Amino acid sequence: MDHRIRQAEAYLDQCRQQVDRELDRCLARHATSERLQETMRYSVLGGGKRVRPALCMAAARAMGSDESTALAPACALELIHAYSLVHDDLPAMDDDDLRRGRPTAHIAFDEASAILAGDALQTLAFALLSDAPALSDRQRVTMISELARASGHQGMVGGQAIDLESVGRKLSVEQLEAMHRHKTGALIEASVRLGALTSETVTESQLTNLTDYASALGLAFQVQDDLLDIEGDTEIIGKRQGSDVAKAKPTYPALLGIDGARQHLARLLDEALGALESFGPEADTLRAMADYVVARSH
């Protein structure tokens, strides 16, 4: 596993450089408001592992596509992710003051600027996809539809709504998983699916297997996040350690215990890797990414 984790870390670094160059180029275009542009750049280019873009590009590799065709969807995914973090951190939502080791956008600027920056990042994601030069019209429309569904009320936003409604309530494991399949899992699934859709020859069977991989991985990502909230170091994880516990949020360790959460994490890793059994070495980067997600320290 250690070899695969190192492989994933190297791939993440490679993808981060490519994606950040492209995001920097997109965000360098003059915005109507200088403060808005500054808040957008702060929110997107201020760190982050770029897991979702890397999954998108690794899925393209698994399908034999040129990874450059996945750059636009990879950037669109990161823009959606960044917007969601800006809005999640707001006082009306999770009320967090630290993100990626820096003050959150509404603390560094102000609440109105943060809200507007989130709005602008979301719409920029779809503009980027609609103009993607390496994709056909059919691919663009399909990807826009996929990303809209994953990030809207049927996906990420719906999951955040359930999360806010669940504070202080005792959920079952099934209810917790349903929430996280929307809040975290939907965008991770979209990341893999958008990468696969860069191939004009992707089959329904391949797409199903890759979706199953991403579904298990999305839950594994959240279980590890919950464990890091208890065991992680604020300076390493880049946000307040113990913040979920302090806000009485439902978590996997709270329901299963730390040992139970770790066992659940191992089962999800097995599910993710099992979904890739029909793929050969072309999916090794996806396998490495799964190992990385469950072993990461931030």
Orientation of helix 111-130 relative to helix 34-45, angle to 10°: 70
- Share the mean pLDDT of the chain: 91
Per-residue pLDDT averaged across 71-94, rounded?
96
Phi-psi region at 40: left, alpha or beta (left = phi > 0; alpha = psi -120 to 50): alpha
Q: What is the CATH number of the domain that holds 197?
A: 1.10.600.10
Please give the Cα distance from 196 to 189 (Å, whole number).
11
To the nearest 10°, report the CA torsion of 176, 180, 182, 188: -160
Number of domains in the chain: 1
Digit-coded pLDDT (tens) for 9-60: 999 999 999 999 999 999 987 678 999 999 999 999 988 899 999 999 999 9
What is the C-alpha to C-alpha distance for residues 186 and 204, in angstroms, rounded to an integer? 18
Rounded percentage of the chain residues whose pLDDT exceeds 70: 93
The pLDDT, as a whole number, for residue 278 is: 96
Long-range contacts of 100-103 (CB under 8 A, 24+ apart): 100/46, 100/47, 100/48, 100/238, 100/239, 101/47, 101/235, 101/238, 102/46, 102/47, 102/238
Report the predicted TM-score, pTM, of the whole model to 2 decimal places.
0.93
Do the Cβ atoms of 49 and 297 come closer than 8 Å?
A: no
First to last CA, the chain: 18
150: domain range?
A: 2-295
Of 272 and 248, which is predicted with more confidence? 272
Q: Tokens representing 3?
A: 């070899």
pLDDT in tens, 88-122: 999 999 899 998 889 999 999 999 999 999 999 99
* Closest residue by Cα to residue 217 from 9, 23, 51: 51
